[in-house]
Structure 1
Amino acid sequence: MLSVYQTQILRGRCLLQKTFSNNLSSNPKVLNTCKVNIRQLSSKTGEDNKLECIYYGPLKPQIRAVKIFSITSSFAGLIAQPIIINEASKIGSTSLLVALCSVVGFFTFVTPLLLHFITKKYVTEIHYDPETSTYKATYINFFIAPVTIDFKAEDVVVPDIPGMFTTMLAKGKPLFIEARHFSDPIYYAKIMGYDKPLDFKMGNIEEKDTNNNK
């Protein structure tokens, strides 16, 4: 025969099992939430796996290092600028004060902006989604954070006269890429539109005839 203590333990276990099963049956959202989370995780990993890296800019580490050094020196210049101005004002030379402010201001403000102007078009990576034929280009912004832009081949415009550090325009955004850094030259040809039929831009024949008659 079971003791009174063992009988109470069995009753407690049966009560807990009954309560747990009733909660699951009355609130199926708990199981559904687990299923949704598993599906979301699997979909994210699937999206990451289907992207293929077709381009890598070799200057990415150098650009990041130079920008970090430039921004760090700018913050240091901002902190040291009041001290330098105070010490220069004690000397009493106006020309020395103007020269020091010009040098400190140049390295504090002009250098980071100049570096950003030169490197903001440089593409560090391009990933390709074969299912949607979409390209994902990555470049570095002013605060050294990666920024991506999604585009397709039909969104690319190759200017007749490319600007400085500009190879193409993707949705109006000027970008700089190099053909030799693609994993396959076919990707570069598709992005630049070299696989399309040539347009020699012969002009309108009727307009030429009217101009000749004049």
Structure 2
Amino acid sequence: MLRMCVRNICTSNKSMSNSVLLKEIAHNLKIVTVCPNLIIRHFASDIEEDKKLERIYYGPLTPQIKAVKVFSLSSSVAGLLAQPIIIREAATIGSTSLLIALSSVVGFFTFVTPLLLHVITKKYVTEISYDPTTSTYKATTINFFLTPKELDFKVDDVVVPDIPGMFTTLLAKNKPLFIEARHFTNPKYYAKMMGYDKPMDFKLGEQDTADK
């Protein structure tokens, strides 16, 4: 009798443990099957967003600008690292004028050159993408640390100045941008962006009604 009871208890425990293991395995399988679906959906949404955007412009000077900025930033870092050594060596000579001259030259190439390059190149548009579903343009520029900076705008946000400034073709949300018409994949995008498709105003000036 005792053996029978022990066998029954063992078989019941085994069946319970097997059922628990099966439940855990089924739960884990559900998690495993759900996670790939989420990952697939995430990547599918990113691919769909990329397909919506059409690249309509590419700045041909983008590689050169990146190379010049990389060289400028690397030289600035090297100048910062070498500045204490240069000052120490100049101090051993004992000439104050030489110390001031060396410090000014090193400081110019360390701080002024990268800032000057950034002021010149921050308006240069490296790429423009167009979303036909929302009629939205996405302009990409390069910031001080060589990371892309994107700006979303529409045609209504564009203002073409009567007297464009230096390296400024248009203003998108009050941000100056520099683009070239010949590098668009289709001239209609440039014409629409610049407002050439709108009716022209031939009014030469407002006349004073009092003089009439």
Do both proteins adopt the same fold according to a TM-score greater than 0.5, normalized to the shorter chain? yes
Partners of 1:71 and 1:200 in 2: how far apart? 49
Tell me the residue number matched to 2:65. Answer: 63
Task: After superposition, give the CA deviation of every residue in 1:42-61 in whole Å (9 maximum; x if it has no partner).
Answer: 11110101111100000000
Partners of 1:133 and 1:146 in 2: how far apart? 22
Tell me the residue number matched to 2:192. Answer: 190
Residue type of the alignment partner of 1:133: S
What SS class does the counterpart of residue 209 from structure 1 fall into? coil
Tell me the residue number matched to 1:94. Answer: 96
Q: Which runs of 5+ in 1 are unaligned?
A: none
Compute the displacement of 1:188 (Å).
0.3
What SS class does the counterpart of residue 126 from structure 2 fall into? strand
Tell me the residue number matched to 2:114. Answer: 112
Tell me the residue number matched to 1:72. Answer: 74
What SS class does the counterpart of residue 166 from structure 2 fall into? coil
Tell me the residue number matched to 1:166. Answer: 168
Residue type of the alignment partner of 2:149: V
Tell me the residue number matched to 2:147. Answer: 145
Partners of 1:141 and 1:173 in 2: how far apart? 13
Task: After superposition, give the CA deviation of every residue in 1:44-91 in whole Å (9 maximum; x if it has no partner).
Answer: 110101111100000000000000000000010011111101110111
1:132 and 2:129 correspond? no
Compute the displacement of 1:40 (Å).
2.7
Residue type of the alignment partner of 2:200: L
Task: After superposition, give the CA deviation of every residue in 1:126-153 in whole Å (9 maximum; x if it has no partner).
Answer: 0011111110000000000000000011
Distance change in 2, residues 1:90/1:131 (3 Å): same
Tell me the residue number matched to 2:42. Answer: 40
Partners of 1:68 and 1:30 in 2: how far apart? 44
Structure 1 vs Structure 2 CA RMSD = 2.5
Compute the displacement of 1:198 (Å).
1.1
Tell me the residue number matched to 2:209. Answer: 209
Partners of 2:62 and 2:128 in 1: how far apart? 12
What SS class does the counterpart of residue 165 from structure 2 fall into? coil
What SS class does the counterpart of residue 176 from structure 2 fall into? strand
Partners of 1:138 and 1:201 in 2: how far apart? 36
Percent pairwise identity = 65
Partners of 1:93 and 1:202 in 2: how far apart? 66
Compute the displacement of 1:200 (Å).
3.1
Partners of 2:195 and 2:31 in 1: how far apart? 51
Compute the displacement of 1:95 (Å).
1.1
